[in-house]
């Protein structure tokens, strides 16, 4: 980090290299945007005949050249030879040269005579190669490509540009992790924070303690997903062997990505305690609770034997991960067990610790001393500040920016990772097509607008900000593809905030570059969320049985083109400017375009007046927003599952403005999800409505506190783990009314949810 800052200082004094970047010519679409980029006349034709040149004996440069050649082969089908020596006279090739800026900085010159990348260090050569690859992949396709003539001088703003992946809740394949590392490297992110341990699972092989993976790496999923067709428990989980970890660490290092492992302590420790109960405070840890989400009360105890265990574990971890930093968690350590334990209280008194916060500080500092003895640095979530912190510890601030401010004022380095902006388990738009996750919307623009130079800090305090990081917590990311979809493209915005100068905050220009970014992610084989870019429809009744259709995308990027009748929308199609009036059964197809290039998928709509009579659970208004989630159904075990929009603290939905003048038939497609949330006493505050029938009912009320006008018995639907349908009549009432839909039940487990509702007049 110091090296990067020193470089920037030199660049500023040498010629205002960090001045505002001028508007770029349309053919150039690089992300993150370089510090300085100028365009010129001419171009370079990159083909299979092109060669990559490195100095004789420069092993590092040859390695980068080989990686570039491999990436071009995989993504463009070009097989470029790597040659030691200089190009022949008149030969236009790619040259990787030494010299110039140090650290991760580089320069790149391209034109009719070829491409030259210059850097003092391997990291700079690598990032120059990634910029060249981006120049070659601005458009989708394979084969030869023309590179524009450009001059680039580039260096990072921050030294820590990170992404955290949670493998404890759901295990990802090594192949997926490699693909994510490839995408990180292509966008100049350099730190993969790997969350390997939590209450739900222990994912790292530790040879001295085999039960950590034999027991702690496996659980039975909650609800119907936890049983097979014969009713037997499903064993779910897995772990990474030490050989797999070594290979992945080396793979990442070759792409200038450092993997920082996280071993959680003193809380989030149920999985290791289930394997070795003597590590905990109380006997008989509840193994089945590991299929829950939330904050658990299980902590490590303060015995010397427990610290010996942790030291042994960390020794094996440090043998696998050469990173300067080792992350020890430290977050959400609910200390009720420590408070209630006479043994812990006696230990605290003997150690001179006045309260449980000081006990956690003692715990973290004792572990930190072991890390320091091995030449490593401790990093943890901002709770490690409580009770005092060792001087060389670094704080990752997640509870807003307060932790970062407090750390900097105490002289600690800090990484900015504030909730909710840097938490990628939040959905990216309000569309019902978004994957499961938290109900709050954190859009691509929200991430792009994040300022990693907090106004709450002084200039001196900001020097302690070593970087920023986004976090992919995977409670609701059951599949690898879903993880990728939640991470991308928001990670691209994070990359620009971490690399590009503070003056680079041009949202419109970032939008212009998004089609190229989608082409690159496609070439890398990484999934991404296109939904926020795509046209979404809002329907309303028109005259003579027609339907009025309004189109809009969540991010309002580019322009929408549409076609009626089934043809594919192109730039030659009609531009959407105002709501469309369509006849029954008309087929509407729409797509977003940016600078003439498509962005996202084509959206199809078959218009029918009955569409106005149906609303999904996502389209219904929530009665409250206490803890809103997009929860995946737990059935079927294989195949697609419904995703419910639900406030688990008050499961209730409102159909606004229902016309009951003729009465109606209400048909509801419903499902149920297990209530597997550790929320402590808050669970007792969830309202329960007494059922009138054994299986319960779906109540229909005029307003949430109003008269109940109908109750649809659930019957056998209450025993169906997947979707099922119930129906009932709604009596006539004058005017329009807000119908409040809620379930009766004796327990919060399971929690019933609405997938969609149809309201047809009698």
161: nearest Cα among 471, 425, 494, 604: 494
758's enclosing H/E stretch is: strand 751-761
Cα separation, 73 vs 136, whole angstroms? 12
The packing angle between helices 174-186 and 242-253, to 10°, is 10
Radius of gyration of the chain (CA): 28
- Cβ-defined contacts of 248-252 (< 8 Å, 24+): 248/174, 248/177, 248/178, 248/181, 249/320, 249/321, 249/322, 251/178, 251/181, 252/181, 252/192
DSSP one-letter code for 268: S
Give whole-number Cα distances, 49 to 79, 186, 589, in Å: 8, 24, 42
Cα separation, 492 vs 519, whole angstroms? 13
Length of the chain: 762
CB 673 within 8 A of CB 754: no
Please list the helix, strand and coil fractions of the chain in percent, rounded to the nearest 5, in that order: 30, 30, 40
Catalytic residues: 198, 268, 332
Strands 580-582 vs 547-552: parallel, antiparallel or unpaired: antiparallel
Strands 81-84 vs 51-54: parallel, antiparallel or unpaired: parallel
Cα separation, 300 vs 268, whole angstroms? 9
Strand ranges inside 340-499, DSSP E = 377-381, 394-397, 414-416, 426-427, 437-441, 465-472
Give whole-number Cα distances, 652 to 432, 538, 740, 743, in Å: 17, 22, 7, 8
Cα separation, 562 vs 574, whole angstroms? 6
Phi, psi of 595 (to 5 degrees): 50, 40
Taking the CA atoms of 271, 274, 278 and 281 in sequence, report the sign of the dihedral they define: positive
Cα separation, 216 vs 280, whole angstroms? 14
Cα end-to-end distance, the chain, whole Å: 70
């Amino acid at each position: 980090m110091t090296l990067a800052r020193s470089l920037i200082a030199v660049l500023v004094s040498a010629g205002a290299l960090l001045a505002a970047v001028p508007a770029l010519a349309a053919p150039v679409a690089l992300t993150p945007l370089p510090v300085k980029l100028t365009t010129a006349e001419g171009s370079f034709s990159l083909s299979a005949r092109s060669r990559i040149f490195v100095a004789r004996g420069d092993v590092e440069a040859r390695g980068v050249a080989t990686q570039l050649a491999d990436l071009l082969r995989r993504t463009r089908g070009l097989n470029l030879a790597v040659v030691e020596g200089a190009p022949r006279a008149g030969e236009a090739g790619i040259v990787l040269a030494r010299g110039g800026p140090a650290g991760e900085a580089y320069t790149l010159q391209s034109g009719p005579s070829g491409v030259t990348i210059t850097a003092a260090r391997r990291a700079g050569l690598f990032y120059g190669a990634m910029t060249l690859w981006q120049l070659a992949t601005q458009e989708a396709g394979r084969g030869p490509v023309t590179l524009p003539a450009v001059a680039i001088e580039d260096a990072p703003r921050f030294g820590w540009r990170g992404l955290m992946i949670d493998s404890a809740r759901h295990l990802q394949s090594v192949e997926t992790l490699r693909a994510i590392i490839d995408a990180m490297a292509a966008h100049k992110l350099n730190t993969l924070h790997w969350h390997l341990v939590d209450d739900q699972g222990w994912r790292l092989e530790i040879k001295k303690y085999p039960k950590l993976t034999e027991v702690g790496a496996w659980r039975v999923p909650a609800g119907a997903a936890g049983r097979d067709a014969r009713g037997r428990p499903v064993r779910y989980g897995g772990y990474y062997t030490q050989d797999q970890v070594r290979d992945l660490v080396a793979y990442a290092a070759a792409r200038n990505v450092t993997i920082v492992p996280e071993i959680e302590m003193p809380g989030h420790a149920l999985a290791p305690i289930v394997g070795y109960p003597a590590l905990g405070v109380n006997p008989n840890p509840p193994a089945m609770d590991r299929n829950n989400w939330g904050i658990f009360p299980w902590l490590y105890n303060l015995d010397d034997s427990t610290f010996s265990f942790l030291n042994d574990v960390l020794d094996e971890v440090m043998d696998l991960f050469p990173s300067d930093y080792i992350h020890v968690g430290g977050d959400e350590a609910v200390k009720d067990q420590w408070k209630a334990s006479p043994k812990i209280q006696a230990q605290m008194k003997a150690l001179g610790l006045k309260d449980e916060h000081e006990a956690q500080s003692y715990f973290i500092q004792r572990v930190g001393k072991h890390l320091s003895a091995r030449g490593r640095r401790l990093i943890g979530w901002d709770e490690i500040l409580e009770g005092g912190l060792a001087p060389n510890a670094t704080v990752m601030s997640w509870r807003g920016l307060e932790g970062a401010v407090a750390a900097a004022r105490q002289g600690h380095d800090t990484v900015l990772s504030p909730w909710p902006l840097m938490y990628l388990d939040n959905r990216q738009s309000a569309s019902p097509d978004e994957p499961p996750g938290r109900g709050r919307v954190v859009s691509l623009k929200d991430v792009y607008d994040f300022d990693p130079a907090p106004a709450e800090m002084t200039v001196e305090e900001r020097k302690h900000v070593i970087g920023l990081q986004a976090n992919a917590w995977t409670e609701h990311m059951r599949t690898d593809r879903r993880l990728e979809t939640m991470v991308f493209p928001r990670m691209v915005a994070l990359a620009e905030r971490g690399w590009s100068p503070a003056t680079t905050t041009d949202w419109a220009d970032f939008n212009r570059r998004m089609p190229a970014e989608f082409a690159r992610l496609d070439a890398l084989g990484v999934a991404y969320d296109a939904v926020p870019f795509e046209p979404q429809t809002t329907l309303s009744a028109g005259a003579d049985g027609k339907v009025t259709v309004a189109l809009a995308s969540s991010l309002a990027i580019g322009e929408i083109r549409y076609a009626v009748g089934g043809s594919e929308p192109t730039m030659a199609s009609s531009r959407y400017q105002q709501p469309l009036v369509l006849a029954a059964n008309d087929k509407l197809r729409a797509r977003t375009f940016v600078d003439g290039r498509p962005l996202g998928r084509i959206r199809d709509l078959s218009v029918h007046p009955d569409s106005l009579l149906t609303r999904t659970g996502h389209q219904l208004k929530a009665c409250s927003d206490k803890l809103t989630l997009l929860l995946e159904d737990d059935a079927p075990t294989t195949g697609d599952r419904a995703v419910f929009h639900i406030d688990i603290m008050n499961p209730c939905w409102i159909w606004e403005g229902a016309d009951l003048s003729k009465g109606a038939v209400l048909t509801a497609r419903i499902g149920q999800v297990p209530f597997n949330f550790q929320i402590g006493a808050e669970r007792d505050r969830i309202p329960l409505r007494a059922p009138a029938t054994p299986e319960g009912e779906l109540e229909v009320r005029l307003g949430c506190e109003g008269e109940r006008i109908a109750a649809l018995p659930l019957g056998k639907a209450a025993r169906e783990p997947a979707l099922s349908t119930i129906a009932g009549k709604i009596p006539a009432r004058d005017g329009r009314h807000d119908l409040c839909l809620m379930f009766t039940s004796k327990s919060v487990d399971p929690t019933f949810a609405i997938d969609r509702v149809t309201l047809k007049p009698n």
